[in-house]
Amino acid sequence: MEIIIKENGQVASEAAARIVVRLVKEKPNAVIGLATGSTPLMLYREMIRLHKEEGLDFSQVTTFNLDEYIGLPPEHEQSYRRFMNENLFKHINIKMENTHVPDGMAEDVPASCAAYEQAIIDAGGIDLQVLGIGSDGHVGFNEPTSSFASRTRIKTLTRETVADNARFFDDDESMVPHHCVTMGIGTIMDARMNIMLAFGERKADAIADTVEGPIASIMPASILQYHPAAKLFIDEAAASKLKLASYYRWVYDGKPKWQKDA
C-alpha cells in the first residue's frame, strides 16, 4: 500500500488523475471502476479538464460503478447513475453504453447482481478502481463486518452511513434509502489497481486504521493492505493520525517523476 500525502484535496486529486491518464494512454480500452459521493468530484473535474484541454480520449473506455441505492430510478436527483452522468459522463467522450451502474430498480436483485459481476468479467476485469472511504471504514457500501470474499450484492446501510448521506437528501434521514446494491470486497480486490481518495479530518481515524491498524472486517478498507497495487491519495487533514506520516512523505518525495505517475 502506497500512501501519497498532499497539501490539499485538489493537489491529491490531480496526482490521482495522472494515474488515470497513464492508464488510458497505455490502454485506450481500459476498464475503470468509479465511485460516487463528494470525495471523487475533484478527480472527475480534473479528468474532464484533461479531456477538454489536453484531448484525453475516453471513447474506448468502459466503466463500472461501485454501487447504487435500491429504489431510486436512474433519473432521481440522488441516484448514482444521475450523479455520474452529471459529474463526469456528459462532459467526456465516453460512450454511454460503456458505462455501467448497478440497477437500483431491478425486480430480481440477486440476478441483477450476478449479471453485474459477469459483465465485469466479460469486459476483462477492472484495470483501475477508484475508491472513497466512509468515516467507519466502509468502501463502496461494504459496511463494517462485510465479508472480504463478498461479491456484488444487496446490503443494508448502517445508521452512521444513513446519517452521513442525509446531507444529500436535504438533511432528512428519512429520505435516505436503507438498502443498496454494491460491488463486494472480493470484487474490489480483483481490480488490478485500487486508488483511494480521502480528504478532511473526519477521515483521519479511518485512514489510520486502514493503513496502520490490523486487517479486520470491522474496518473493511483495511483489506487493501493485502492488495498488490493500492495507492491512497490523502490530504494533510486525513493524514493527521498516521504514526508514520513523515516516512510516507519521505518515500514519495524520493521517487523519480515517472514512478510517481505509475
- Residues belonging to the active site: 67, 136, 138, 143
Residue 46's identity, in one-letter code, is: E
Contact 210, 217 (CB under 8 A): no
Among 114, 202, 96, which residue's Cα sits nearest to residue 151?
Answer: 114
Give 49: exposed, middle or buried? Use CB within 10 Å, 0-12, 13-18, 19+.
Answer: middle
Rounded to the nearest 10°, the torsion over CA 116, 142, 261, 56 is 40
Q: Show the cell assigned to 226.
A: 493485502
- Which residue matches cell numbers 474506448? 60
Q: Show the cell assigned to 118.
A: 459477469
